[in-house]
DNA sequence: TGTACATCAGTGAACGCGCGTTCACTGATGTAC
DNA sequence: TGTACATCAGTGAACGCGCGTTCACTGATGTAC
């Protein structure tokens, strides 16, 4: 049955949003189109009225995640007065609630491993997600802009992503908590110290 | 046809080693038992002479990875004189050759995302892999033992894992190189600075 | 040492199942007159 | 405004395929005498 004008676009957006959640929750490969369409309130047959393949949905969903998650976290951080914003962002990222809710969380932490195995067109979303985080840090704290600042920001992002991946991967609840806490403390301490400016990186590169 | 005594155990070990490579390369869910057994030089039917299910193999392969990778990297680092060992370990972990060869690399970086979705019995391997890395850092540099040292070690591990996951996930080759380089420089710089000792972590914990 | 038999690692066909994908069909909506 | 027709989002059966798993069978090896 034909749908009212504009509803097709809304349905399409709903499929993408549902996929963005299920992919982060269960993984891309482990998520079937049948269950996905049911979760979106549809039957599987209609999928190809909106996407030409699962691969296309994967790309669009990953792009959606890259474009929405970080900016939502930034918005919440910006409810705080300016000098506290970056700390609030770091605490929110490295929280146990983020760890326990991958379906609404950082795409790199939830899907970074799978993204590394995808073709280049999908890995562009990885670049986008990473750059969104870098831009967010720069927007929240001016010390993280400029070449040196961006280098520091990349280390902060790596630490946050790795702490989240590790905290989810380990079975030991105490260890999981310690990983998040130590990363939080370390990042916040480095921000507060007056000599937080990084010297220029060295040239040594080992293959 | 019956095999000579002891060969069954060797075959079993070969299947586990093959799985350990393919799981890290292609992901656990995306790796089929048929292709896996062929890669091990066998046909698929024999699989259940060695394992009661794919799940059992996954657990054994993840345990194998956790127990072998880090110690191999430590051994190579120990070829250097003692004060350089930790730096060599960090450079080896954060190298582009590690990035480009997940099949022989760190299990947390390659499978951390998938491990987070597995049942508790498999996530015990995540704990093991993480603890192996912590123990390796302590063995390579005494400043990383004891409660404060272990907290610092956890942050180093988180940064290494996150840098590797991110470097693999992004499509932009320059960004990927920068992520590894910045993480390397940051970790090595912090090691070299005389005030590398961390103060006790604060108590603040946000859910 | 030689023979007869039991063992069991490995083979390959077959199982049901869910996957991604295709397709004929439906029927409410939008459009033309 | 009312009628006739075209559109197309969504349905549900069906496709071939590879998945994890099972099983009857093979045949070289180990064991018993």
What pLDDT, in 10s, does the model give residues A23-57? 999 999 999 999 999 999 999 999 999 999 999 99
Contact present, A161 and A106 (Cβ < 8 Å): yes
SS3 B200: coil
The contacts of residue B197 (CB under 8 Å, 6+ apart) are: B143, B148
Phi and psi, residue B193, nearest 5°: -65, 140
pLDDT tens, position by position, B78-131: 999 999 999 999 999 999 999 999 999 999 999 999 999 999 999 999 999 999
Nucleotides of C under 7 A from a protein CB: 6-14, 18-24, 26-30
- Closest Cβ–Cβ partner in A157, A163, A205 for B166: A157
Q: Cα–Cα distance between A84 and A73 in angstroms, integer?
A: 14
Q: Hey, are the CB atoms on B96 and A189 less than 8 Å from each other?
A: no
Phi and psi, residue A163, nearest 5°: -65, -40
Q: How many CB atoms lie within 10 A of CB A87?
A: 18
Q: Hey, are the CB atoms on B202 and A185 less than 8 Å from each other?
A: yes
Share of chain A above pLDDT 90, in %: 87
Contact present, A129 and A108 (Cβ < 8 Å): yes
- Is the CB of residue A44 inside 7 Å of nucleic acid strand C? yes
Q: Cα–Cα distance between B165 and B111 in angstroms, integer?
A: 10
Q: Note the pLDDT of residue B185.
A: 98
pLDDT tens, position by position, B116-172: 999 999 999 999 999 999 999 999 999 999 999 999 999 999 999 999 999 999 999
Phi and psi, residue A94, nearest 5°: -90, 30
Mutate which of A22, A170, A204 to disrupt the B interface (most B C-beta within 10 Å)? A170
List Cα–Cα distances, A129 to A13, A65, A91, A98, A112, in angstroms: 19, 8, 19, 16, 10
Q: Hey, are the CB atoms on A112 and B165 less than 8 Å from each other?
A: yes
Q: Note the pLDDT of residue B2.
A: 80
- Is the CB of residue A34 inside 7 Å of nucleic acid strand C? yes
The contacts of residue A106 (CB under 8 Å, 6+ apart) are: A69, A70, A93, A98, A129, A133, A160, A161, A164
Share of chain B above pLDDT 90, in %: 87
Distance in angstroms between the alpha carbons of the first and the last residue of chain A: 59
State the greatest distance between any 2 C-alpha atoms of chain B, in Å, as a whole number. 65
SS3 B1: coil
Q: Which of B73, B57, B70, B76 is nearest to B129 (CA)?
A: B70
In the predicted structure, residue B202 carries a pLDDT above the cut 60: no
Distance from CA of A160 to the nearest CA of B (A): 7
> What is the token pair recorded at A146?
């400029």
DSSP B8: H
Q: Note the pLDDT of residue B4.
A: 81
- Is the CB of residue A53 inside 7 Å of nucleic acid strand C? yes
- Closest Cβ–Cβ partner in A92, A123, A198 for B171: A123
DSSP string across A87-155: HHHHHHHTSHHHHH-GGGS-HHHHHHHHHTTS-HHHHHHHHHHHHHHHHHHHHH-GGG-HHHHHHHHHH
Q: In the structure, what pLDDT confidence band is assigned to residue B6 with cuts at 50, 70 and 90? A: confident
Q: What is the overall mean pLDDT for chain A?
A: 93
Contact present, A78 and A139 (Cβ < 8 Å): no
- Closest Cβ–Cβ partner in A95, A158, A177 for B183: A158
In the predicted structure, residue B205 carries a pLDDT above the cut 90: no
Of all protein residues, which has its CA closest to the C1' atom of D27?
B1
Burial class (CB in 10 A: 0-12, 13-18, 19+), A48: exposed
B195 compared with B111, residue with greater pLDDT:
B111
């Amino acid at each position: 049955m034909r749908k009212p004008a504009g509803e097709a676009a809304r349905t399409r957006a709903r499929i993408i949003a549902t996929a963005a959640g299920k992919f982060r929750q269960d993984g891309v490969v482990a998520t079937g189109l049948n269950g996905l369409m049911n979760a979106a309130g549809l039957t599987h047959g209609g999928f190809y009225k909106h996407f030409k393949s699962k691969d296309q949905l994967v790309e669009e969903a990953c792009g959606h995640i890259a474009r929405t998650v970080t900016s939502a976290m930034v918005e919440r951080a910006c409810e705080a007065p300016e000098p506290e914003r970056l700390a609030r962002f770091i605490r929110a990222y490295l929280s146990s609630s983020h760890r326990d809710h991958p379906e609404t969380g950082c795409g790199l932490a939830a899907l970074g491993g799978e993204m590394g195995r995808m073709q280049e067109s999908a890995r562009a979303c990885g670049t986008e997600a990473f750059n969104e985080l870098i831009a967010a840090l720069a927007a929240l704290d001016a010390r993280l802009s400029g070449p040196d600042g961006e280098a520091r920001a990349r280390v902060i992002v790596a630490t946050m992503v790795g702490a989240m991946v590790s905290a989810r991967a380990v079975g030991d609840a105490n260890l999981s908590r310690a990983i998040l806490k130590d990363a939080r403390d370390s990042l916040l301490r480095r921000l507060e110290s007056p000599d937080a400016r990084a010297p220029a990186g060295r040239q040594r590169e080992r293959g």
